[in-house]
A and B are shown apart, each in its own frame.
Chain A
Amino acid sequence: MLININLIKMGNLRHISKNLLLCILVLVSSGILAQEARLSRAQQLLKSKAPGAIEAAASAIDSVIIDPQTKNDFVAWTTRAFVYFELYKTSDRFKLNSGFRDTIIKSILTSNRLQPDSGYLVQNNRLMINLSKSYFNLSKTLLQDSVNEARSSIAYGRYKSLYLLVEPKMDFTADDIKYYTAVGSQYSAIFIKDNNDVKAQEIAKVALLKVLELQPDNTSANINMGLMYYNQAVNLSKSLDYGADFSQIDIVQENMVKLAKQAEQFIHKVYTNDNKNLKAVEALYYIYRMLNETVKSDDFKKKGEELGIKFSDQPADKQPADKEK
């Protein structure tokens, strides 16, 4: 009798467990289905151009990627990257720091970690390159429009970092030359305009030396370096008080000569590579004049005039004042 009762109890228990298991399965399946439906909804909203669709897509996809059932689905993460890309395009494209951009990058990286199929991998990488290039454009804007080298340099660094995530063997030499030449030109022009702007001079020097390290014969970098040294010498000359005595004049001359010789090294390299470079010929005339090398300055004056340069004794930013005499 007792055995029978136990058997009956065991049968009931088995029945209950079976039902429980079924319930769990149904619940899990419905959960997965619900997340898949959300993912699909997010994808549809992404394609939609209706107002508020992208915001709704973001909300939907955010819940998909935190759900344990779908958090490891690369499709969800790639979809999220594209949803946030739409948001980023509308408001954050020109921002150096953007939460949307960070979300896109994190989503792409997560998707790639989940070993997506080739189609998704290509999409992920394209999007990453797109973001990388937008950093490059931003670095140019921050440099040229905002004249903010610090922020521009951050953007440029990020451009390279993102690109390397997609193409780890990417060679940035050509980009580095282009970028640092732009920085050097921009800031050397600022320094030449205002010789007291030591910060601009330092930024320009660092950038131009980077260019010359990569490409020693780079014309623009050599010219700008030379002009900066030359202008420093001009500035020294201008700083002399009319009441300065001979010993003070001598010290200033000593420093001017050092600077002019440094300028000569850079400019002469350009002239050696291209003896018709107008800027080099013109600058060498003034440099040799500053160095009191009359034969050479006369020679460059003649060459310059043959090339159509009109030399002037009028003081200009690039010319020395005959203050010592």
Chain B
Amino acid sequence: MFLYNYTRYFEWPDKKKEDNFIIYVVGKNENLIMELKNLATKKKVGNQEIEIKNSATFDPGITSNIIYFTPETAKPLGEAASKNKGKGTLIVSEISGGCKSGASINFIAIDNKLKFEYNKNAAVKAGLKTNEDFKALAAVNVD
């Protein structure tokens, strides 16, 4: 739900609007994959169909609109950020300090609830057009 909601606050470059909207999950989380696949059958991003890709470890060859790193797979976060610089890929992670390691958005838990921190600069560097309202939604803004 968070991942889908993020699509409302960013604009991807035209090149990334041509084919399917790809959400790439790095790591093993069958439950999440199933939920995302379910989402893909029900929702679109603009006119784009949603497609879910998954690999156990980060594969730099996979092109996507969003990369989500599960907590166990966040090591190549920096590598992913530098390889996707300017290419219009929103990097989302779930690790302590994720926004400082290259992710634009990082899940955090506050009062047992899932929230997120946001690094606008990282999103801009990734080639995404950002929405100012999004900053207000983040629990923490990392600049």
Contact = CB atoms under 8 A, between A and B. Distances in A.
A254 B111 CA distance: 9
B141 to A, nearest CB: 15
Given A245-B5, A246-B5, A257-B111, A323 B43 contact: no
B35 A323 contact: yes
Contacts of A321: 31, 34-35
Interface string A256-270: 010011000000000
Interface in B89-133: 94, 107, 109, 111-114
Nearest to A253: B113
A321 B42 CA distance: 17
A242 B112 CA distance: 21
A27 to B, nearest CB: 91
A231 interface: no
Interface of A: 240, 242-246, 249-250, 253-254, 257, 260-261, 291-294, 312-315, 319, 321-325
Interface residues of B, number: 25
A220 to B, nearest CB: 27
Given A246-B2, A292-B112, A321-B31, 19 more contacts: A242-B42, A243-B4, A245-B5, A249-B1, A253-B113, A254-B113, A257-B111, A257-B113, A260-B112, A291-B112, A292-B114, A294-B71, A313-B28, A314-B31, A322-B35, A325-B3, A325-B32, A325-B68, A325-B107
B111 A240 contact: no
Given A242-B42, A242-B43, A292 B1 contact: no
A233 B118 CA distance: 27
A294 B109 contact: yes
Contacts of A244: 1, 5
A242 B109 contact: no
Interface of B: 1-5, 28-32, 34-35, 39, 42-43, 68, 71, 94, 107, 109, 111-114, 137
Contacts of A246: 2, 5, 137
A246 B118 CA distance: 14
Pick the most buried of B30, B68, B94, B114: most chain A CB atoms within 10 A of its CB: B114
A299 B45 CA distance: 38
Contacts of B1: 240, 242, 244, 249, 323-325
B39 A242 contact: yes
Chain A interface SS verdict (over half): loop
A242 B31 contact: no
A315 B31 contact: yes
Contacts of B3: 325
9 closest A-B pairs by beta carbon, nearest first, are A292-B109, A313-B31, A313-B30, A322-B32, A291-B112, A253-B113, A257-B112, A322-B31, A242-B39
Contacts of A292: 109, 112-114
Contacts of A261: 112
Given A242-B39, A294-B109, A253 B31 contact: no
A68 to B, nearest CB: 78
Given A321-B35, A322-B29, A242 B4 contact: yes
Contacts of A253: 113-114
B113 A250 contact: yes
Contacts of A249: 1-2, 5
Contacts of A291: 112
A15 B66 CA distance: 125
B78 to A, nearest CB: 22
A324 B109 contact: no
Contacts of B39: 242
B17 to A, nearest CB: 20
Contacts of A323: 1, 35
Pick the most buried of A242, A293, A324, A325: most chain B CB atoms within 10 A of its CB: A325
